[in-house]
Structure formats: structure tokens, C-alpha cells
Amino acid sequence: MKLLLAGVNHRTAPVQLREKLAYRTEEIPGALLEIQARGAKEALILSTCNRVELTAALDDDFRVETLIESLLSHRTGLTIDELLPHVYRYEDTEAIRHLFRVASSLDSMIVGEPQILGQLKQACTQARDSGAIGTFLDAVLTRAFNVAKRIRSETEIGQNAVSVSYAAVELAREIFGSLNKKRVLIVGAGKMSEGAARHLMRAGAAGIFITNRTAERADELARIFRGEVIPYEQFPQRLSEVDIVITSSAAQGFVVTREMVRKAIEARKNQPMFLIDIAVPRNVEPSIADIEHAFLYDIDDLQRLTDQNLKTRLDVAQQAESIVTDEVTRLEARLREREVTPTIVSFQEQLEAIRKDVLGRYRGKLGDLSADQEETLEALTRGIINKIAHGPISEMRRQAAGSSDGELVSVVRRIFKLRDR
């Protein structure tokens, strides 16, 4: 079984491209089925604001290009030639390493951020519910979750960790110097919005307004953070009341348009308005950046803050990378041993069948045997078989634990004419 991974992230592709590839939650089950129809045995899709990745367990003759084509299968307006310069591809060892680094937030825009592990677990659950996760990917992902847990317990990577929502609020604080007396509108009521509201409260924002297509979730956040709910259909008319807009909605298309902001700036008598769009696909029309007194930042603009975060956490990250390397080696040995197990079982079954066949042919010549003699004969013949099997089985396991090309396994299967299980 081969492991392939293909994707784009915040380092390889701008938000303008990532948003074209992003999957809505409801699209993923169908996309997983399509990847399997293309030949993958097992599959996983991870789609977040900073990455879109497809992982597949498959036969050796599966082409990585097929997986990359799957990235485009659900999107129009983007060609394979446009996509290829931004795509990274990993196989086997490097695919395992990448998954471990993603789960441990070593590959995140903000090293140590806690959200990615939950997002990966959610992607795993969705793939499992869709029947796309089998024993191979289950073993890899389970180990990835354990590696993330080990890194958080053995290093300080999670200490004072920040998130994208925190970085968005820090950007707002940099712009204004202080958020006291500033009024903020949060568009969307998911996890990112909840995180932004929490950080805004700590930063001393004077008023937090929340709007969301689903009113119940907006009401819930407003109760938690003592904010005010603005009905979704009314928020464009109330934009002029706020100094900062933070958007993190799962809506498709632009939620905040150029015309909305133009009218709001006029009503504010040209007082500046800052918009921070941390959604992918983006919620805010990019041309708003051209409006005087409107200042727009998207998720890629947070990179400056995250670069500073990376420098301060470099030593911790290096310690975590050592753990990842150790865990990759362990998992590879385990997977290789699992690959050889069917051959060992078939080998043992074949030898047992030979033992029974020979014993059956000579059994009549031995005459009547007592129960003790029968037991002794069984023990004797089984002992001979076990002695014969011990050497080849031990060597197959030893080679599996190392980096052998599996030549001995092939030889044993040919000599004893073992069938695939």
C-alpha cells in the first residue's frame, strides 16, 4: 500500500487560489467518493482557511497526478497548469511526516496554534463516516494524533500559543494602538469568530456586535461575550456604526461588498473603517481596498505577525521536529511489519496444512495409539514445523522492522506458492 498526499497551503498559494479549491463541509463526502472512484483505496480531505489537502492510500501503480486532478474536479475557472506551481506532493515517509507536522501545528501559519488538530480530527471523522477510512489511514492518523499529544506534553509548543483569530485582533490593536472605545462587528459565528470575540473582550473593545445567517448561534455568542446581535439582513445598514469588521463566515460569495462599505464610509463622514477578512473563501470584496478611508486586510496579511511568532518559538519547534522524526521511523516500522503479517500467517497455515497432510498419510501405519501417544505425536510434528518456520519468520520480521525491499517475503511466497489473503 502506498501513501500519497497533495495540496496547497498558505506558504505555497495565495488566498485567491486557496479559496477556489476550498471545500464546503457538505461537498466532502461526494468528493471522497470521487477520489475512491479514481482508484484510491482510502482517502481524506482536509480543507481549512490555510490549506486544502488530499491524502490517499492506494496501490503502487496509482499516479500522483490523478490525486492532483482531484483537487480541480470540483472547481471551474482554474486549470491544472495554473495549479501545479503551487502544489506540494509527498509520498510514503514524507507524507507521514507531513501529516505528523500538520497535526502538531508545526506546519501552521502560527506555530503551536490549537485549532488544526481539531480540524484534522473532524476531517478524519467525516472521512470515516463516509466509508473512506480503512485500516491503513486509520493507523497513520491515529499515530498523528498521538504524536501531536506527545509534542504538546513534552514541549512548550502550546504555551502562550496564539491563533489566527488572536492574530486578527492583534492586527486591529496595532492599527489603533488601543481598542478601548472601538466598536467591532463580527460577521459569522463559528470557532474563529468565537476566538476573535474572546480576544476582543480581553483587549477592551467597547462594543461587540455579532451577525450570522443562523440567528441561534449569534444569540449564543452574544450571551457569552455580552455582545449585541444584529439581524443578518440588517447589518449592511449598520456598518457605519463600527470601526472594525472581522469576517469569518462560511458563506459563499462576498458578504461585505464595495457598495456597502462606500455607503458606510460616507455615513461615518470619512472616519476610517478597518476590515479584517480571515475567511476562506473570502467574505469581503477585494476592491474595497481601493476605497479611501477603508483599510482591508485578509488572512495572508497576518503572515507578518506569524513570522514573529515563528522566531520566538523556533527552539521549541526544533524539539518538536525531533519528536516527529522519531515517530515517523516508529510508524514506518510498524506499517512494514503489518504488511508482512499476511505472508507470515499464510506461511504458517501452509506449513500446518503440510504437517496434517503428511501425518494423515502415515497415521494408519502407526496402529492404535493411546491419548498420550497422540498428544506426543502432535507436539513432535508441530515442534518440527515451528523449528522450520522460526528462521524465515524471524528474518521477515527483522527485515520489515528495517528498511528492506521485501525480497525475502517475495521468495517465501514463491517457494511455498502462497496465495494473497
Separation CA 402–CA 329 (nearest Å)? 10
Q: Are residues 24 and 58 in the same domain?
A: yes
Q: Are residues 151 and 168 in the same domain?
A: no
The answer to whether the bond into 29 is cis (omega within 30° of 0) is no
Q: Are residues 9 and 102 in the same domain?
A: yes
Instruction: Measure CA 158 to chain center.
Output: 18
Determine, yes or no, domain membership for 331: no
Backbone φ and ψ for 282, nearest 5 degrees, come out as: -65, 150
Residue 99's pLDDT is: 97
Q: Are residues 141 and 225 in the same domain?
A: no
Q: Which CATH number is 43's domain given? A: 3.30.460.30
Residue 405's pLDDT is: 58
Residue 225's pLDDT is: 85
Q: Are residues 205 and 80 in the same domain?
A: no
Residue 162's pLDDT is: 60
Which contiguous run of DSSP H or E holds residue 32? helix 28-37
Separation CA 372–CA 382 (nearest Å)? 15
Q: What is the dihedral of CA 226, 230, 235, 237, to 10 degrees?
A: -110
Residue 397's pLDDT is: 77
> Catalytic: which of 49, 102, 296, 344?
49
Residue 189's pLDDT is: 87
Separation CA 264–CA 143 (nearest Å)? 51
Per-block mean pLDDT, blocks of 10 residues, the chain (421 long) = 92 92 92 90 94 91 76 75 92 95 91 88 96 95 95 79 74 80 89 82 85 91 89 95 91 92 94 89 94 90 65 73 91 78 82 87 83 89 89 78 67 74 55
Residue 309's pLDDT is: 57
Q: Which CATH number is 303's domain given? A: 3.40.50.720
Determine, yes or no, domain membership for 50: yes
Q: Are residues 285 and 175 in the same domain?
A: yes
Residue 119's pLDDT is: 94
Determine, yes or no, domain membership for 314: no
> Based on the structure, what is the number of domains in the chain?
3
Is residue 57 helix, strand or coil?
strand
Active site residue 49: yes
Backbone φ and ψ for 39, nearest 5 degrees, come out as: 125, -5
Is residue 39 helix, strand or coil?
coil
Residue identified by cell 486532478 is 69
Determine, yes or no, domain membership for 318: no
Q: Are residues 381 and 262 in the same domain?
A: no
Q: Are residues 129 and 145 in the same domain?
A: yes
Separation CA 256–CA 145 (nearest Å)? 37
Contact 306, 366 (CB under 8 A): no
Residue 290 to residues 125, 388, 413: CA-CA distances in angstroms? 42, 80, 69
Structural domain span for residue 201 = 164-309
Residue 313 to residues 79, 100, 112, 162, 235: CA-CA distances in angstroms? 38, 18, 8, 11, 39
Residue type at 102 in one-letter notation: V
Q: Are residues 124 and 207 in the same domain?
A: no
Determine, yes or no, domain membership for 316: no
Residue 313's pLDDT is: 62
Q: Which residues of 352-372 are buried (b: 16+ CB within 10 A; e: fewer)?
A: eeebeeeeeeeeeeeeeeeee
Q: Are residues 354 and 234 in the same domain?
A: no
Q: Are residues 19 and 119 in the same domain?
A: yes
Determine, yes or no, domain membership for 377: yes
Determine, yes or no, domain membership for 326: no
Q: Which three cell numbers stand for residue 48?
A: 481549512
Separation CA 104–CA 143 (nearest Å)? 11
The DSSP line for 72-135 is HTT-SS--HHHHGGG-EEEETHHHHHHHHHHHTTTTSSSTT-SHHHHHHHHHHHHHHHTT---H
Contact 103, 113 (CB under 8 A): no
